[in-house]
Amino acid sequence: MTCIVGLEHDHKVYMGGDSAAVGDWDIQETDEHKVFRSGDFLIGYTSSFRMGQLLRYSLDIPKNSNSILGDMKYMVTEFIPAVRNCLKEGSFTKIENSKEEGGIFLVGYHGLIYRIDSDFQVLRIRSDFTSVGHGFAFALGAMAVMEPSLTNPRSAVLNALEIAGRFSPNVCAPYYVCEI
C-alpha cells in the first residue's frame, strides 16, 4: 500500500510519501514518487500507481477563475470534476451499481490540505496534519507526539514516514517530502 503524510505549517503544505509497491504479501521499493507538484497544487496519492500517473501526467487542472467561490467550493465544483474526467478517460474509475469510484489522495492548495476519498468527496481535516494509506495510523501518532514542539516541518513529515515504515509492513524507504 503506502503512506502519505501532509502537514500545514506557516501557510505552506509539506507532504511526503514512501516508495512501497505492495501486492498481496510482497513489497518492492519503487522509483515512483507518490508526491508531486502540479501548478499550484501538491498531490500525494495512495490506492494505485495508475491513478497517480494519471493525476500527474494527464490531469488538466482548471484555473480557479472565480476566487470569490472560496477554495472548498472550487475543489468540489471544478477540481473534482476534472479529476473524475481524467480518471475516467484513463480507464481507472470503477462503476458498480451506478456508483463511481476512484482512489484516495491528499491535495495541498493555498496552504491547506484536502483529503479526496474514493467516492470523490473532499474533506478538510481539523488538525494541521493528516495521513492516508496503510501506515496512516502510525504516521498520525508520530505527528501528534511531535506537534507541540514542531520547529522543522519537513523533518517532522520525514520522521512520521520513518515511524510508519518501522511499524507497517506496507511502507518502505526511501521517503520523499515536497512543499508548496
CA distance 51 to 130: 20
* DSSP H helices in the chain: 49-57, 71-74, 80-89, 136-146, 153-167
Q: What's the CATH number for 3-179? A: 3.60.20.10
| pLDDT reported for residue 67 | 67
Cα–Cα distances (Å) from 29 to 26, 51, 170, in that order, read 10, 18, 10
Q: Which amino acid is at 159?
A: N
Name the pLDDT band for 25 (thresholds 50, 70, 90).
Answer: confident
What mean pLDDT is predicted for residues 3-23? 95
Domain boundaries, the chain: 3-179
Work out the number of other CB atoms within 10 angstroms of the CB of residue 150: 14
pTM, rounded to two decimals = 0.94
Rounded to the nearest integer, the mean pLDDT of the chain is 93
124 vs 102: CA distance, rounded Å: 18
Among 93, 97, 146, 95, smallest CA distance to 116 is for 93
**pLDDT tens, position by position, 57-107:** 999 999 887 666 689 999 999 999 999 999 999 999 988 888 899 999 999
Between CA 75 and CA 109 the distance in angstroms is: 9
